[in-house]
A and B are shown apart, each in its own frame.
Chain A
Amino acid sequence: MGERLDVDVAIVGGGTAACAAAVALRRHGLTVAVLEKRRCGAGASGVNFGGVRQQGRDLRELPLSRRARPLWDGLNALLGEDVEFEATGHIKLARSEADLEFLERYRIDAAACGLELTMMGADAVHAELPWLGEKVLGASLSPTDGQANPRVVGPAFARLARRMGAEVREHTPVEAVAHTGSGFVVTAPGLEVRARRLVNAAGAGSGLVAASFGEAVPLTPLSPNMLVTEPMPYFVSRSIGVCGGDVYVRQVRRGNVVFGGGGGWQDHERGLARPNDAESLGGMKRTLQVVPGLAHARVIRTWSGVDGQMPDAIPVIGPSRTTPDLVHAFGFSGHGFQLGPVIGEIICELLVDGATPSPIEPFAIDRFDGLASAAPADAPVGGSTHTEH
């Protein structure tokens, strides 16, 4: 027989949400095991666009996003390394009258949630971003939003969890989860974990875990397609998005311009995604229209990743409806990077206090009861309908 572990909390998955939860739980003195199939922070958490954005979120998600935002200011100190968070602001461009109206309505709604957005007229936008190619009619600026280096955040949370005494097990694919009379039994090759409580934070793999407890969910893989140029002189001073979400672009301090374009391919066999060339070409064209200054840039890499997508594009966060002591947190639908740190805290609150001050009712797992679970698609995912990041 393999190794056995006995812990207060077992966490399936090792993304930012999972590792942040481990940190919060350790702070409360609970023993924790993080079980990650590949490497911590190498899933969606490690390969995303790096947008740390509140603007544009579903209003139901905004309170969580607002709560997450100040955590980003303290991440370097917490994690002991530079996650390159910078509040460059996020500008969302309106290219039609309808876009403008939409932005103005969103501004009012967001203000009600405490998020201050500033509407900019066409002249103001072009004065601030003189390199914009397309004529825009206006834009909405979220000055407190920004960007960070996703490659660093997840692994750093995992290391902090480990330093704080969590059992962080990589290359440990969870193959079975079950609730026995006395708690949970989680099995991976060569390892059996017994835990009083269980967290399902396995990203795109969370559907299987949920289903093991009779909670089938319509979770599908989402794979945005990403591109990056060689380093160039710094000029994209803000993180840029557009209404509709078909263009998003930012520049890192090193000089590389990162942008998105459509969706990648699913590699079912390896549970990975790969970029889709046609989508990359489309993304290049569209981005060039908005940022013609990239005309002489060269793309040095394209990539993709897999997040979990829910039909209503907001996550599942909260207690299981079938099984006590089980908490779900997945299905971030392409915008869970910014939320990561706060999801950890909310998971901890749910397990330790049995409740969270954050309004998580909209994220209940049983909101889809009666809906058949969607089959994973083979076509490029995230291409036809654009996801904002």
Chain B
Amino acid sequence: MSVAKLPHVAVVGAGPAGLRAVEVLVAGGLNPVLIDEAPRSGGQIYRRPPPGAERPAADLYGFEAAKATALHGLLDRLGDRVRYRPNTLVWSIEGKRLRLLADERFDALEVDAMILATGAMDRVLPFPGWTLPGVFTLGAAQIALKAQGVAIGRRVALIGAGPLLPLVAHQYRKAGAEVVLALDVTAFLPKVIHGFGLLNAPATLAKGLWYMARNVLGGVPMRFGARRLRVEGTDRVEAVVWTDARGREHRVACDAVGASFGLRSEIQLADLAGCRIVFDDLTRQWQPERSPEGRSSVVDVYLAGDGAAIGGADVAELTGARAALTLLADHGRPADAARIDRLDRELARHRRFRRALEAAYPFPGHLLDDLADTETLCRCEGITVGAVRAAARERDVDEINRLKALTRTGMGRCQGRVCGQAAAEILARSRGVPVETVGRLRGNPPVKPIPIEGGL
């Protein structure tokens, strides 16, 4: 690529990763397009209330308030050097052509290069009662608080398997909601064992411990290591029930539940762009291959943030900047070597931290073993866990796309974004094989439903 021609670059996702990426691109002399389906920039963690309903950043983002404010102001600072397109879904990528949906109308954009910073969503696993009204994901519970300023209930139980749990518990308590339970379904022990690794990012660890301490001090009961988890209620949530490591059953009354079990990367766009997708043992998920410099396996497609590997908000900012610097260098633009060096050292440290964190919060597969056949797995299509197990047993199904073809699991509105991982785990468990051998759902456009009349 010649130095003279300025590459036309799109950044998908205006979360911490995408925002830092456009900042670097602009500093490098480019005029990128920044696309996000959300109405305001900030991404998942720094999600903002709609204009007019603002609350102080310190209330919304706690420790992260300064970072949130910095990121929220970033686009204003960059002005018209960024073409920002909010409310715009990228529903497909063919080569270097992005298919867009904005205001229910189709549009397209041709670029020379792109940075995909599509972030992550809650990892959802079914448990008895998970479809009851009043059950939300942890992320949705947090978004209700950040974007609408409302709690999901008056007596809230939060259930999780990752650092998001103490965080959301803290935020809820701080917002004045009564958190009657914070239940981590994974055991406490690994968190102690892997504490050394967690020391690789002292600030983050301190924050995590602080949140945990605040929760305990603030009267939020933290519990660890749950089996046979279920939510009870007739028309809506009434209680959370679980069995502890010693076999004792516990029951906590509540009127709302926030539950999810870690995060999963939003990989569909990378998949459509042709990026090689590989299995990550630690998180048991399929993720686009990303080099430490932010390259994907496809030339001129770069990856940043939680969309390629879960690292949290701070890492997302770093990988966003890093991928943009790589893009500049690849396109013959001068790159700041000292900054690259600094970023690489920080990222290496975070990677060690991340491995420790994942080890501290192992995938709670035991929840799936506890499930009765009658439990719903795929909500869109109303497919039960039993239907998956039967297909595995009786219809030779040993692969996830075949499971979909024969049972409709993952064939609904969400196309398996919600149930796909649980379905793969249940299938693999039924066959007694490693989960990676059942493969992953093939990606096809659109990444989210699109209106048939969008082209008229």
Give me the interface of A with B, judged by CB distance under 8 Å: 39, 42, 46, 81, 151-152, 155, 159, 162, 229-231, 254, 265, 274-277, 280-281, 284-285, 287-288, 294-303
Q: Considering the chains assembled together, what is the distance between the CA atoms of A274 and B456 in angstroms? A: 24
A39 and B455 contacting across the interface, CB-CB below 8 Å = no
30 intermolecular pairs with C-beta atoms under 8 Å apart:
A42-B402, A81-B395, A151-B406, A152-B406, A155-B402, A162-B396, A230-B412, A230-B449, A254-B408, A275-B445, A276-B94, A277-B92, A277-B94, A277-B97, A277-B99, A281-B106, A284-B455, A285-B455, A287-B452, A288-B453, A298-B449, A298-B451, A299-B446, A299-B449, A299-B450, A299-B452, A300-B446, A300-B449, A301-B411, A302-B445
Contact A288 B456 (CB under 8 A): yes
4 additional contacts (CB under 8 A) given A230-B412, A277-B92, A300-B413: A42-B402, A275-B444, A285-B455, A288-B456
Cα–Cα distance between A46 and B408 once the two chains are bound (Å): 14
What does the 1/0 interface line of B198-213 toward A look like (CB < 8 Å)? 0000000000000000
Contact A155 B452, beta carbon cutoff 8 Å: no
Interface residue B265 (Cβ < 8 Å from any Cβ of A): no
Whether A298 touches B395, Cβ cut-off 8 Å, given contacts A39-B402, A42-B402, is no
Q: Can you name the residue of chain B whose Cβ is closest to the Cβ of A152?
A: B406
B456–A285 CB distance below 8 A: yes
Q: How far is the CA of A302 from the CA of B448 in the complex (A)?
A: 11
Q: Complex Cα distance A277/B97, Å?
A: 10
Are A303 and B444 closer than 8 Å at their CB atoms? yes
Residue positions of B touching A, CB distance < 8 A: 92, 94, 97, 99, 106, 381, 395-396, 399, 401-402, 405-406, 408, 411-413, 415, 444-446, 449-456
Alpha-carbon distance A287/B97, docked complex (angstroms): 24
Number of A-B contacts (CB under 8 A): 81
- B406 engages A281 (CB within 8 Å): no
B97 to chain A: which residues have CB within 8 Å?
277
| Across-interface contacts of A275 in B (CB, < 8 A) | 444-445
Chain A residues positioned under 8 Å from B451 (CB to CB): 296-299
B139: min CB distance to chain A, Å: 22
State the CA gap A265–B272 with chains docked (Å). 13
Which of A229, A265, A294, A301 counts the most chain B CB atoms within 10 A?
A301
Establish whether residues A301 and B444, one from each chain, have CB atoms under 8 Å apart when the complex forms.
yes
Closest chain A residue to B94 by CB distance? A277
Q: Which residue of A lies closest to B444 (CB)?
A: A303
Q: Chain B residues near A231 (CB, 8 Å)? A: 412
Are A229 and B402 closer than 8 Å at their CB atoms? Answer: no
Q: Which residue of A lies closest to B382 (CB)?
A: A254
Q: B395's closest neighbor in chain A, by CB?
A: A159
Given A42-B402, A155-B406, also A229-B452 (CB < 8 A): yes
When distances are taken between beta carbons in the complex, the residues of chain A under 8 Å from B396 are 155, 159, 162
A265 to B452 CA separation, bound complex (whole angstroms): 21
Residues of B within 8 A of A284 (CB): 452-455
Q: What A residues does B405 contact at CB under 8 A?
A: 42, 46, 151-152, 155
| Chain A residues in 8 Å Cβ range of B412 | 230-231, 300
B10 to chain A, nearest CB (A): 16
Chain B nearest CB, measured from A373 CB (Å) = 28
Find A288's partner among B381, B401, B415, B452 (CB 8 Å cutoff).
B452
Most buried by A among B406, B415, B452, B454: B452
Q: Is the CB of A39 within 8 A of B453?
A: no
List residues of chain B with CB within 8 A of the CB of A159: 395-396
Which residue of the partner chain B has the closest CB to A289? B456
CA separation between A196 and B229, bound complex, in Å? 59
* Set of chain B residues within 8 Å of A276, measured between Cβ atoms: 94
A297 and B408 CA atoms in complex are apart in Å by 19
Q: Which residues of B contact A281 (CB under 8 A)?
A: 106, 455
| A residues in contact with B452, CB < 8 Å | 229, 284, 287-288, 294-299
A228 CB to nearest B CB, Å: 9
Cα separation A230 to B446 with both chains bound (whole Å): 12
* Residue of A with least CB distance to B108: A277
Report B-chain residues with C-beta under 8 Å of the C-beta of A39: 399, 402
Q: What are the residues of chain B within 8 A of A285 when measuring CB–CB? A: 455-456
Contacts of A46 in B (CB 8 A): 405
Which 4 pairs across A and B sit closest by C-beta, in order of nearness? A298-B449, A151-B405, A300-B449, A297-B452
Q: Which residues of A contact B406 (CB under 8 A)?
A: 151-152, 155
B108 to chain A, nearest CB (A): 8
In angstroms, Cα B2 to Cα A355, docked, is: 66
B444 CB, min distance to chain A CBs, angstroms: 5
Which single residue of chain B is at the shortest CB-CB distance from A231? Answer: B412
B453 touches A277 (CB 8 A): no
Rounded to whole angstroms, the CA-CA distance of A39 and B401 in the bound complex is 10
Give the one of A162, A230, A287, A299 with max B CB within 10 A.
Answer: A299
A302 touches which of B395, B402, B446, B454 (Cβ 8 Å): B446
Once the chains are docked, how many angstroms separate the CA of A230 from the CA of B454?
A: 15
Whether B99 lies near A274 (C-beta < 8 A) is no
Whether B444 and A302, one on each chain, are in contact in the complex, defined by CB atoms closer than 8 angstroms, is: yes
Set of chain B residues within 8 Å of A151, measured between Cβ atoms: 405-406
Q: Which residue among B92, B106, B446, B456 has the maximum number of chain A CB atoms within 10 Å of its CB?
A: B446
A229 vs B453: C-alpha distance in the bound complex, in angstroms?
12
- A226's closest neighbor in chain B, by CB? B444
Q: How far, in whole Å, are A301 and B268 apart by their CA atoms in the complex?
A: 12
A265 CA / B274 CA spacing, docked (Å)? 13
Q: List, in ascending order, chain A residues with CB within 8 A of B413's CB.
A: 230, 298, 300
Query: For the complex, what is the distance from the CA of A284 to the CA of B454, rounded to whole Å?
Result: 9
Specify which chain A residues have a CB less than 8 angstroms from the CB of B381 in the assembled complex: 254
**B453–A295 touching, CB < 8 Å:** yes
A301 & B415 in contact (Cβ 8 Å cutoff)? yes
A298 to B101, CA, bound (A): 12
Cα distance, A254 to B383, chains bound together (Å): 13
Residues of A contacting B99 with CB < 8 Å? 277
Bound CA span A231–B408, Å: 12
Closest partner residue, chain B, to A159 (CB atom): B396
A42 contacts which chain B residues (CB < 8 A)? 401-402, 405
A61 to B455, CA, bound (A): 38
Across-interface contacts of B94 in A (CB, < 8 A):
265, 276-277
Instruction: Give the CA-CA distance A303 to B441 in the complex, in Å.
Output: 13
Give A107 to B9 CA distance when docked, in angstroms: 56
Say how far B454's CB is from chain A's closest CB, in angstroms. Answer: 8
Residues of A within 8 A of B456 (CB): 285, 288
Cα(A284)–Cα(B446), bound, Å:
13
Determine how close the nearest CB of chain A comes to the CB of B270; give it in whole angstroms. Answer: 15
A171 vs B145: C-alpha distance in the bound complex, in angstroms? 50
Contact of B450 among A81, A254, A294, A298 (CB under 8 A): A298
Instruction: Considering the complex, give the chain A residue whose CB is closest to the CB of B99.
Output: A277
Contacts of B453 in A (CB 8 A): 284, 288, 295-296
Residues of B contacting A155 with CB < 8 Å? 395-396, 402, 405-406
